[in-house]
Each structure stands twice: as structure tokens, then as C-alpha cells.
Amino acid sequence: MCIGVATAAKVEGPYTPAGDGPLICVPGDGGDIDPQTFVDSDGSRYLIYKSDGAAVGPPAAIWSQKLLADGRTPDGPRIELLRADLASENAVVEAPSVVKTASRYFLFYSADTFQSSGYHTGYASAPALSGPFVKAGSPFLSTDLLGGKVDAPGGADVVDGHIHFHGWLGGGRTARGMYQLPIGFPDDRPQLG
């Protein structure tokens, strides 16, 4: 499990793999997945992704890798943003997404396993993208917080004043669907609207 890059002349493709190998493939990570790009207000480009961790060794972690302007060449060392270190995370953090407000960076992430009703979306905040990120004291989206209307909400992304996420459909465990809710950041804290 590695992260690669492919390019195309137009968005609908066809795409061709770029380079001679993966962009990110760190031995010992147990796999590198869930890539998300982030462009900071100064134009700096970053790849945010998850290292899977291993049954023996470090648990899953979320990393930031600065990229050159081409968006496909690493620029300097990667930085660990957070690690699965809470009991409620069950050694899993994944699906990172970064939002910047006037004075804070918010890293939304999923935790636990999506097969479990304990799967949830949490967030951490920091004064800079390099951290230190401090996790919120409780989940932001969970089955309980959503009144059981969405089972196991995760994979969140914030776009145009809405948080988009997936969860099990129709009370069963056969398909996951997409949901959205309004979100705002009054007083530099995320709140559902």
C-alpha cells in the first residue's frame, strides 16, 4: 500500500503514472494510504496521509509531507501530525483532512474501524500545520452524537461551509453512503450549523 501520482492533460483522463515508483512508500509504515492535498495560504502545497501502523509496533499515524510546486515531488522530511493514542481510536486514525481558519489549523480524521459503530470523526487543532496538534476531548461526529441517524460516520472533508462524510446506509452493513451537514468555525472552533 503506497501512494502514487498519475497525470493527465484533462481531468477526465486518461491518466499515466508519473515517475518510476510511488511518491510515498515508507518501509515500516505498514502501508501509506488516504492521501489528501492541502494548499496553505502562502501557496505551499502539502500531502496529508495515513501510515497504517502494524499489529506489532507503532499504531497508525497521520503525516504531512511538503511538496514542490509541481505537487508531486517531496520537499524535505515528513512531519508526524498525530498518532492513534486514545483507547477510543482502537489504534486507527485515517482519512485526514485539513481546514485553516484565521488563526488555527484543524485536522479532521476518522478513528476506530469503519465496520464498528464506534467509528467516528475527531479533530485536532494547532497554531501551525507543523503542529503541535492537540486532539479535541471528544468526537466531533459519532453514531451517538448524530442520534443514530448515521451509523459510523467517517471520511470527513470540509468544503464550502459543509462537512461531507460517509456512513452505513439504511441501518444495515451492506453499503456506505455520503452525508453532509453545515459547519462553521465561530471562535476558531468547529460547530455543526
- Tens-level pLDDT at each residue, the chain (193 residues): 999 999 999 999 999 999 899 999 998 898 999 999 999 999 999 999 999 986 666 789 999 999 999 999 999 999 999 999 999 999 999 999 999 999 999 999 999 998 888 999 999 999 999 999 999 989 999 999 999 999 999 999 999 999 999 999 877 788 999 999 999 999 889 999 8
| Residue 175 lies inside a defined structural domain of this protein | no
C-alpha cell at 120: 467516528
C-alpha cell at 8: 493527465
| Residue 162 lies inside a defined structural domain of this protein | no
| Residue 92 lies inside a defined structural domain of this protein | yes
Predicted pLDDT of residue 79 = 97
Distance of alpha carbon 33 from the chain centroid:
10
Q: Which of 127, 153, 149 is nearest to 139 (CA)?
A: 153
Strand order in the sheet with 79-83: 32-39, 45-51, 61-67, 79-83
CATH assignment at residue 45: 2.115.10.20
Phi and psi (nearest 5°) for 28? Answer: 90, -10
| Residue 161 lies inside a defined structural domain of this protein | no
| Residue 89 lies inside a defined structural domain of this protein | yes
Distance of alpha carbon 75 from the chain centroid:
20
Angle at 47 between CA 63 and CA 131, to 5 degrees: 45
| Residue 45 lies inside a defined structural domain of this protein | yes
3-state DSSP helix/strand/coil % of the chain, to nearest 5 = 5, 45, 50
| Residue 1 lies inside a defined structural domain of this protein | no
| Residue 12 lies inside a defined structural domain of this protein | yes
pTM for the model = 0.93
Domain with 74, as residue range(s), is: 6-147
Q: Which of 149, 131, 133, 128 is nearest to 192 (CA)?
A: 149
Q: Which of 147, 160, 157 is nearest to 178 (CA)?
A: 157
Predicted pLDDT of residue 142 = 96
**Extended beta strands in the chain, E state:** 6-7, 16-17, 32-39, 45-51, 61-67, 79-83, 93-100, 105-111, 120-126, 134-135, 151-159, 162-168, 176-184, 191-192
- 79/59 Cα distance (integer angstroms): 16
Domain count, the chain: 1
